[in-house]
Structure 1
Amino acid sequence: MRYVAIGDSFTEGVGDELPDGSSRGWADRVAAGLAATGNDGVRYANLAIRGRLLEPIVTDQLDAALSLDPAPTLLTLNGGGNDMLRPRTDVDRLVALTAHAVRRCADAGVRLVLLSGADPSARLPFGRAVRQRGEALTARIAELAGAHGLDFVDVFHDSEIRHPAYWSPDRLHLNATGHQRVAELVLDALGEPTAARAVRPDSPETHRLLTELRYYREHVLPWIGRRLRGRSSGDGRTGKYVGWIPVPPGQPSRACT
């Protein structure tokens, strides 16, 4: 199997950091899970870049993914989360971009799995607008997947992953536990023998004033500053595995441990 993942910070693995500061994430975990149950191992590439809008994902990243040699046999696609955070979101355009990716993968003979991102809206400023947009896009992508007979992993409506225990301090990205749950949802959709586990913390999350002030200072204000400057957290970055890396059978690779 040759598996390539494209997308934004969700697929890059932001929030699931290793001791050396690099990101792991659900896609790395899926590669490891696929290798653990196969006899020949997996070749894996991850072209996702944090901050990317959907258009460069389904153009630049998809071009690079389909140009890999040898060609991929499996591709996962998630995108649109950063588009949802912009003041204006054209859901019809996002669906059309996704449909373009569906056609290209079909023409190339590559198995495509579509994912919706996890729903962060309950704990975000202006979360109601984010949820409404996410609901609309998720419904349309699910319809698109159904029309083409594609696997669709609906993380957005996974009620378990909305629990604060699965999220990073920035409230926008999943933590290691959240990424593990997404990996298990994806592996389940691929027919691999796993079960998505639920994690329940011992105590509920609290929203004290100092905690909220720290959250806005450390996460919200820097994000607003980048938007005002026309900058992205992914500026100057490339995908973390732009060529095939081996994931040996029966054991995780350096990238997936």
Structure 2
Amino acid sequence: MRNIRLLIEYDGTKYNGWQRLGNTENTIQHKLENVLSLMSEEKIEIIGSGRTDAGVHALGQVANFHTRSALNTREILDYCNQYLPQDIVVKRVQEAEERFHARYNATSKKYMYRIWNSNIPTAFYRKYSYHVPGPLSIEKMRKASSYFIGNHDFQAFSSMKSKKKSTEREIYAIEIIKERERIDIFFHGNGFLHNMVRIITGTLIEIGQGKRKAEEIPIILEGRIREKAGVTAPAQGLFLYEVYY
């Protein structure tokens, strides 16, 4: 039995997220499994490095699956990209070690959130950015982002319902890059809670708009109350950028 590793890029606009669901076939995982099963003439179950929600994109999703297929990696790559929808692309196919697991072996992840900061919206980035009109103070946003660096309890910045699972995570770096109207925020950490990146982004935007102060962040972290943090930024600006092993 072979273990095959995939690097996948997708536009999540019209999908109900990554994870296979019982009530719909409109997920990234289902589309991939369907094509791979037809290719190999066996039932394929694919393991992703993590779930992305409805409307969220990926530039570097990693997944693996086991197969008895004799097709080489180039043939698997070509087959996938011939039969997958055009908004899902397999970028790389590799033979993996037998014990490689896309989710359990991941050591950290990087996400990117894209903001279009202009009074005039964009036609081309509308599906891949959050339009925020009016001025944003990048200096204030960078100052606020520094308070998130390190190991913290991020319960206030998560919509996770379970009270049994740990809400502690470590953020290694947050980088904010502005190029004309486009602002890209990169988050690198050992893991992220449900909606964590989007809530942190929403809070940073409010700070950039002058609606709250950067110095509030440590108080919100310590309080662990979701309602004290900012709004959840929309899904279309979020990309799973890279997974590290």
TM-score calculated relative to the size of structure 2: 0.25
TM-score calculated relative to the size of structure 1: 0.24
Larger Rg: 2
Larger proportion of helix: 1
User: Relative CO higher for 1 or 2, CA cutoff 8 Å, sep ≥ 6?
Assistant: 1
